[in-house]
Chain A
Amino acid sequence: MNQDSSLDTFPKHLLHTARVHANRPAMRHKEYGVWQSWTWSQLLDEIRAYSLGLKELGVSPGDKVAMVGSNKPRLYWTFAAVQALGAVPVPVYAESVAEEMEYVLTHADAKYAVCQDQEQVDKLLSMSEASQLIQHIIYDEERGLRDYDHSRLHHFEQVQQLGRDKLSNDTNAEQAWLDAIAQGRGDELCVMLYTSGTTGKPKGVMLSHNNVMSASRNANLFDNLTEKEEVLAYLPLAWVGDHIFSYGQFLTAGYCVCCPESQDTVEVDRREIAPTYFFAPPRVFENLLTNITVRMQDAGRFKRWLYSYFMSVASRCGEDRLNGKSVGLKDSLLYTIGNAMVYGPLRNRMGMTRLKVGYTAGEAIGPEIFSFYRSLGINLKQLYGQTEASVYITAQPDGEIFADTVGKPSPEVELEIDENGEVLYRSPGVFMGYYKNEEATRETKDAAGWVKTGDAGFIDSNGHLKIIDRAKDVGKLNDGNMFPPKYIENKLKFFPNIKEAVAFGNERDYTAVFLNIDLVAVSNWAERNNIAYASYQELAAHPEVYRMMEEHVDQINRDLSNEDRMAGAQIRRFLVLHKELDADDGELTRTLKVRRSFIAERYDALIEALYSDKTEQFITTEVVFEDGRRGELSATVQIRDMKIYGQEVLRESA
């Protein structure tokens, strides 16, 4: 690697970038109607004052500073400001419920907290234990906090002022600050990220400067990212992906990070900024596509025809073009026209006009969705990563894009598949360990530095990694056939009408699933087909909706029957849930992953019905409404039987 080895911590990198790219934009924030911008040198000034202010408040090396809030510049500054003092930032999911947050804060021994606004401050103050632990709370937005007791509450600007006063009163202050930064070492703890485990308590993943730095630098090199990139920071701060994209790569590449005005305006803000480098979980791409489809259905005839015609052109040759293969003259010409009439405008609407490379990760993305974006000329790629690896394990190199694999090992990453089919890796990005949890660390990481991913997968003939499912989730049906629930669920979720699916089958006779309809797509479909309904529940139980779902499930069964190891896992029975799976009810995690065991317990009656010969089942569930009240919801849910295909039969007909 060709970078300066003296730049082994992020504060050092900040000083370096502020020197090299002093007048280039470093950060933007949509606030008060325009993109307020900071250059790198301005950014350094802000962070220095802030950092010194924090020091005045008593932040010292080794202290943990919790961060609660959304993607705001001042929160990103907190990372560097805290690290410059040798302390450790601990970003927390702002949306997590109070008990969860309190656990993280107390577990991390947070002595300071930086909050975005009154809501977060209130949440913190309401925690008896964590609140005692935390000595000072710094907040970004003053609104509503004016009348609070300010003995340990500080407005961000006051802290900065403290720092500025220090700078002007004490001529040595700046040098002392720089000296402290110079003393930092790459193997020191850089950040602690709590994983939102699907089971059990969150674990604090400790990453060193070296971890994050090597992952960031390698990622920059891999996709040739420079200081000219613009990215939109909109994913949770506490998530490792955001930390690498909006902090690690930001400082190492020196590019510009843009913070949206609010979570509601992300789409508009993305269109305005038109990021050159973009990251989103598959869900975002799915929603975007659903949106496009729904809106195109409202279009006039001509536009619909234009769209479908040129989308067929794109699906014929778009991906090949992007992969650098030559396509016929006619298609090439048609694609050029389509680019002017449809693809270009679509990219424009999605804010992907300037996109150099986009990544999706976290979960499998539907092959159709993936191809859709690529055929539009958007260089969307997949990667596979984990918090414990500082994200990167595998990624798809340009020109080697397959919808069903997650790519080749990233630079400096070694990959292995163990005898159970579980994927193992080793890299410089591998984490230091779990905070205060030696046991878990030992379970995950062996002495030689190999880390278990917990995912089952294999390396295909191209050398690409293909992930099947969570290793522990891959189960067996009673007849010995393999049962990969995620795999089935993901296939189902690739239908725009299906929002969520939960498959059951481990140690049971056959596969059965819960389905959740996608309200946006299905209600739109219902409107077009004159299907009246008064509620989500009514829509979900509508016979026409069931018919549509049957078609989808049938399609999945055909697909499964055609795959070598999956034919036995075809879906025999399914039902459509009467309520939307919801994080507020604990059915999903905060990152919106399905909590399988919780659901199994909660909907026990429905599962039993699926494995009986009942055609319907009554169920009552407790729900939490938006305003926090609790209530009950009951319904009689229909169950449908599906046709099972034999492998040979289908081969003949196909």
Chain B
Amino acid sequence: MGARAAAQSIDQGAELLRVDDISLSFGGVKALTDVSFDVLRGEVRAIIGPNGAGKSSMLNVINGFYHPQQGEVWFAGSQRRNPKPHNIAHQGIARTFQNIALFNGMSTLDNIMTGRFTHMKQNMLMQAFWRGPAEREEVQNREKVEEIIDFLEIQAIRKTPVGRLPYGLQKRVELGRALAAEPILLLLDEPMAGMNVEEKEDMSRFILDVKDEFGTTITLIEHDMGVVMDISDRVVVLDYGRKIGDGTPDEVRNDQAVIDAYLGVAHD
């Protein structure tokens, strides 16, 4: 059974991902120190913390960009051994980036179609012939992509090159690309950075809808505390690469260590 299938068979509310005692450093600089937490199937799990707390590093460990010097990552019940990011995609983990990483030479549609990569199987020969299986596969995946386009309400920009889109829409297209992979675990790196209130509301709605409609488990990094507390089920708090809090939004909000970190007391 592949990791994706294993992940799919996990019950709602059971452990989907667990990181144990993760430590990561770059040339002596410690980015993460002994961080452990878990993500349950079907929840929205937020990672918060001040700038430089190691949030993005944590996401990069989860999706295989960084390989921690110490610690274990368990996904869908099995331990991972330094996989490449593209293997991780096939296991059902998708993500978006803090600084939008779209394919600027392509249209919205093509960007999201590219997100279907792991679901397309036709080999080069079939592609070269096109008529038949390749075209059929293309059309089938297009149908899926159109559902996502419809879901994200971006019909009007379907054929627009993404480079020409305003920031907020680019963010949405990037979410679309991640959704197109039909991920089991979706990692969102500051999905609302740089957005105005209205765009943030839209994005929050989309995130919650993703959870409801597709049953996707979501792990997100976000700076806007209001948003985090509104949409997440549980929150991990990192500071200086260490975990200083973990719990429901209410628990975290009232945790003295967290309050100190955010007010800067702890490091005075």
**B149-207: which have CB < 8 Å to A?**
149-151, 155-156, 158
Contact A33-B156, Cβ < 8 Å, known A143-B209, A144-B209, A147-B212: no
A146/B213 contact (C-beta < 8 A), A32-B143, A33-B158, A261-B155 known: yes
A32→B150 contact, CB < 8 A: yes
A31 to B158, CA, bound (A): 12
Which residues of chain A come closer than 8 Å to B156, judged between CB atoms? 262, 264-265
Most chain A beta carbons < 10 A, residue from B143, B146, B155, B158: B155
Given A32-B143, A33-B146: A262 touches B213 (CB 8 Å cut-off): no
Number of interface residues of A (CB under 8 A): 11
Give A146 to B208 CA distance when docked, in angstroms: 13
Q: Are A143 and B149 in contact (CB under 8 A)?
A: no
Tell me if B147 counts as interface (CB < 8 A to partner A): yes
With A262-B155, A264-B156, A265-B156 known as contacts, the answer to whether A32 contacts B212 (CB < 8 A) is: no
With a cutoff of 8 Å between Cβ atoms, the chain B residues found around residue A146 in the complex are 212-213
Interchain CA distance A264-B153 in the complex, whole Å: 12
Chain A residues with CB below 8 A from B158, complex form: 33
A32 contacts B149, C-beta separation under 8 Å: yes
Instruction: Mark interface residues in A129-150 (1 if CB within 8 Å of B CB, else 0).
Output: 0000000000000011011000
Main secondary structure of the interface of A (DSSP, over half): loop
CB nearest to A146 among chain B residues: B212
Chain B 106-133 interface 0/1 with A at a Cβ cutoff of 8 Å (1 = within): 0001000000000000000000000000
Bound Cα distance from A84 to B109, whole angstroms: 41
**A143, B151: Cβ atoms closer than 8 Å:** yes
Q: When the two chains form their complex, are residues B209 and A32 in contact, meaning their CB atoms are under 8 A apart? A: no
Among A260-280, those with CB < 8 Å from B are 261-262, 264-265
Contact between A32 and B151, CB atoms less than 8 A apart = no
Contact at A32–B147, with CB atoms within 8 Å? Answer: yes
How far apart are the CA atoms of A146 and B147 in the complex, in Å?
16
B-chain residues with CB within 8 Å of residue A33 when the two chains form the complex:
109, 142, 146, 149, 155, 158
Tell me which residues across on chain A come within 8 A of B212, comparing CB atoms.
Answer: 146-147
A268 CB, min distance to chain B CBs, angstroms = 8
In the bound complex, do residue B213 and residue A32 qualify as a contact, i.e. CB atoms below 8 Å apart?
A: no
In the complex, the answer to whether A143 meets B213 with C-beta atoms within 8 Å is: yes
Residues of B contacting A: mostly:
helix
A146, B212: Cα distance in complex, Å = 8
Cβ–Cβ < 8 Å partners of B147 in chain A = 32
Docked complex Cα distance between A265 and B155 (Å):
9
Give the distance in Å from the alpha carbon of A143 to the alpha carbon of B212 in the complex: 10
Q: Which residues of A contact B150 (CB under 8 A)?
A: 31-32
What CA separation (Å) do A144 and B146 show in the bound complex?
Answer: 18
Please name all residues of chain B whose beta carbon is closer than 8 Å to the beta carbon of A147 when the two chains form the complex: 212
**How many angstroms from the CA of A32 to the CA of B148 in the assembled complex?**
9
Q: Say how far A603's CB is from chain B's closest CB, in angstroms.
A: 31
**Considering only CB atoms, which chain A residue lies closest to B208 in the complex?**
A144
Whole-angstrom distance between the Cβ of A111 and the nearest chain B Cβ: 31
Q: Which residue of A lies closest to B205 (CB)?
A: A144
Q: How far is the CA of A147 from the CA of B215 in the complex (A)?
A: 13
Contacts of A264 in B (CB 8 A): 156
Please report the C-alpha to C-alpha distance between residue A146 and residue B214 in the assembled complex, in whole angstroms: 11
Q: 1/0 per residue A25-55: CB within 8 Å of B? A: 0000001110000000000000000000000
- What distance in Å separates the Cβ of A265 from its nearest Cβ neighbour in chain B? 6
- For the complex, give the distance between the alpha carbons of A228 and B65 in Å: 59
**Distance to closest chain A CB from B115 (angstroms):** 16
Whole-angstrom distance between the alpha carbons of A32 and B209 in the complex? Answer: 19
- Min CB–CB distance A169 → chain B (angstroms): 31
Q: How far is the CA of A31 from the CA of B109 in the complex (A)?
A: 14
- Determine the chain A residues whose CB is within 8 A of the CB of B109 once the complex forms: 33
- In the complex, what residues of A have CB within 8 A of residue B146's CB? 32-33
Q: How far is the CA of A31 from the CA of B143 in the complex (A)?
A: 11
Q: B151 — which chain A residues lie within 8 A by C-beta?
A: 143
Tell me which residues across on chain B come within 8 A of A32, comparing CB atoms.
143, 146-147, 149-150
Separation of A196 and B150 alpha carbons in the complex (Å): 32
| Alpha-carbon separation in the docked complex, A306 to B147 (Å) | 44
Residue of B nearest to A141 (CB): B150
Bound complex: CA A144 to CA B205 (Å)? 10
What chain A residues lie within 8 Å of B155 (beta carbons)? 33, 261-262, 265
Instruction: Find chain B residues with CB under 8 A from A144 CB.
Output: 209
Q: How far is the CA of A144 from the CA of B149 in the complex (A)?
A: 16
Q: Which of A140-164 contact B (CB under 8 A)?
A: 143-144, 146-147
The residue of chain B having its C-beta at the shortest distance from the C-beta of A261 within the complex is: B155
In the assembled complex, the Cα of A32 lies from the Cα of B212 at a distance in Å of 21
Closest to A262 in B: B155
Shortest distance from the beta carbon of B109 to any chain A beta carbon, whole Å: 8
For residue B153, which residue of chain A has the nearest CB? Answer: A262
* Smallest beta-carbon distance A118→chain B, Å: 11
CB distance from A140 to the nearest CB of B (A): 13
CB distance from B190 to the nearest CB of A (A): 25
* Chain A residue nearest in CB terms to B150: A32
The CA of A264 and the CA of B150, in the complex, are separated in Å by 14
A453 to B166, CA, bound (A): 50
Determine the chain B residues whose CB is within 8 A of the CB of A143 once the complex forms. 151, 209, 213
**Chain A: CB-nearest residue to B212:** A146
Most buried by B among A32, A261, A264: A32
Q: Chain B residues with Cβ under 8 A from A262's Cβ?
A: 155-156
Min CB gap B79→A, angstroms: 35
Give the Cβ gap from A482 to chain B, nearest Cβ, in Å: 48
Chain A residues contacting B143 (CB-CB under 8 Å) are: 32
- Enumerate chain B residues within 8 angstroms of A31, measured Cβ to Cβ: 150
| Alpha-carbon separation in the docked complex, A147 to B109 (Å) | 30
State how many angstroms separate the Cβ of A165 from the closest Cβ of chain B. Answer: 26
Closest chain A residue, CB of each to CB of B198: A627
A412–chain B nearest beta-carbon distance, Å: 43
Nearest chain B CB to A72's CB is how many angstroms away?
13
How many angstroms between the C-alpha atoms of A32 and B158 in the bound complex? 10
Annotate A231-273 by CB proximity to B: 1 below 8 A, 0 otherwise: 0000000000000000000000000000001101100000000
With a CB–CB cut-off of 8 A, which chain A residues contact B142?
33
Closest approach, in angstroms, between the C-beta of A262 and any C-beta of chain B?
A: 7
Measured CB to CB, the nearest residue on chain B to A30 is B155
**Distance, CA A198 to CA B156, complexed state (A):** 35
Determine the distance from Cα of A31 to Cα of B212 in the docked complex, in whole angstroms. 23
**Cα(A561)–Cα(B146), bound, Å:** 59
Give CA–CA (A146, B156) in the complex, Å. 26
Those of B186-244 within 8 Å (CB) of chain A: 209, 212-213
Minimum CB distance partner of A627 in chain B: B198
CB distance from A213 to the nearest CB of B (A): 36
By CB atoms of chain B within 10 A, which of A33, A143, A261 has the most? A33
The docked-state distance in angstroms from the alpha carbon of A545 to that of B151 is: 44
Nearest CB in chain A: distance from B58 CB, A: 31
A147 to B156 alpha-carbon distance, docked (Å): 28
Roughly how many angstroms separate A143 CA and B142 CA in the complex, as a whole number? 20
Nearest-CB distance from A125 to chain B (Å)?
19
Tell me the bound Cα distance from A59 to B151 in angstroms.
32
Give the shortest distance, in Å, between B6 (CB) and chain A (any CB).
27
Query: What is the distance, in angstroms, from B172's C-beta to the closest C-beta of chain A?
Result: 16
**B107 CB to closest chain A CB, in angstroms?**
12
| Seed contacts A32-B146, A32-B149, A32-B150; 13 additional CB < 8 Å A-B pairs | A31-B150, A33-B142, A33-B146, A33-B149, A33-B155, A143-B151, A143-B213, A144-B209, A146-B212, A261-B155, A262-B155, A265-B155, A265-B156
What 4 A-B pairs come out closest when comparing CB atoms? A32-B146, A33-B146, A261-B155, A33-B158
Sample 19 A-B pairs with CB under 8 A, ordered by A number. Answer: A31-B150, A32-B146, A32-B149, A33-B109, A33-B142, A33-B155, A33-B158, A143-B151, A143-B209, A143-B213, A144-B209, A146-B212, A146-B213, A147-B212, A261-B155, A262-B155, A264-B156, A265-B155, A265-B156
